[in-house]
Amino acid sequence: MPTMPLASGSDLAARLRRGDLTAAPAVLNLVETRRPDARRETAVLLEALSPAALGHEPRGHVVGVTGPPGAGKSTLLGRLVREYRDRGRTVAVLAVDPSSRRTGGSLLGDRARIEVDPGDGSVFIRSTAAGDRLGGLAWATRAAAQALSVAFDVVIVETVGVGQSETDVADVADTIMVIVQPGSGDVLQFLKSGIMEIPDVLVVTKADLGRIAQRARSDVRAALRSVGDRTTKVVAVSSVPPVTGFDELVAVLDAHRAAGDVPRLRRDARRRTAVDDFRVEHGDRGLRAIGGRTAALRRLDRTGDDVAVPILVQELERAAGVDAPDGGDR
């Protein structure tokens, strides 16, 4: 079969910097292609869109969304996208579908479940495969979120399931939203899995259920207090008419972003991601050659704070004395 041509990383970066939302499909095609030439162009793309190149952090608000299957994530996201659009904001949604461990294939069905206006050019929705990353976020999804946040006002990353491994989303998102539904027993499960350690906003769906929803909201607040959390906001929403709670949800998400030290959080997340990517490519032996994870992070502390993840990985490779894989899947 003939090789499909790919857009160049520098051209895509220029389009995103101009606010050209139509570049989004080509960006996803590039970062999801595993060929060596695509990996090289993706590195060019990310470097051109790094804070060092832009002179500032990308302006988009990256919101991570997770929750157990059946909690109503897709319905909620459809309503949330509409709320953002009513406020004139552009939105990209990366809906992560689970990959088959046997075939590597993905159902890629979340895009179909999120209801939006198909003719709205200010909304981009793409299903992406989870790949083999335990945290439910493939390297391509991470790269896409970083790139699209340059052009879009909001980038939403919906992750697979919920549990300890799904906390990977914390290294991608500025704000993490965990969704629970009334009467499901999710709160007890969260306490067991440790998921209560990661949310910035907890959303109780199906507020139209009345007392059951109120009880769930009280249980969630009690669970947060039990782990000493007095900052996470709890919002109850209903996605069925009369739709309620979404104006409050957007306000809470905006307030969290405004109150946070986004440059510092993103810098630290880039360093953690670089160490994880280095370990995926070179294994524990490569990491031990630097002195372990803590030593690797200390080394990255001495690099420029605003460079892209591929440059940080190269720094670790130089420190370990290893060669970069030719097109390896990070």
pLDDT at res. 164: 41
Q: What's the distance, CA 27 to chain centroid?
A: 16
Helix axes 139-148, 309-320, angle to 10 degrees: 130
Q: Report strand pairing: 61-66 vs 154-158.
A: parallel
Q: Tens digit of pLDDT per residue, the chain (330 long)?
A: 456 678 899 999 999 999 999 999 999 999 999 889 999 999 999 999 999 999 999 999 999 998 877 777 888 999 999 999 999 999 999 988 664 333 343 344 444 467 777 888 999 999 876 555 444 567 788 899 999 999 999 999 988 665 544 567 878 899 999 888 887 665 556 555 555 567 899 898 888 877 887 887 888 887 777 777 778 888 999 988 888 999 999 999 999 999 999 999 999 999 998 998 899 889 999 999 999 999 999 999 988 778 999 999 999 999 998 877 664 444
CA distance 186 to 172: 24
> Cβ atoms within 10 A of the Cβ of 161, count?
15
Q: Are 221 and 234 in contact (CB under 8 A)?
A: yes
Q: CATH 3.40.50.300 region(s) of the chain?
A: 61-259
pLDDT at res. 7: 87
CATH class, range 61-259: alpha beta
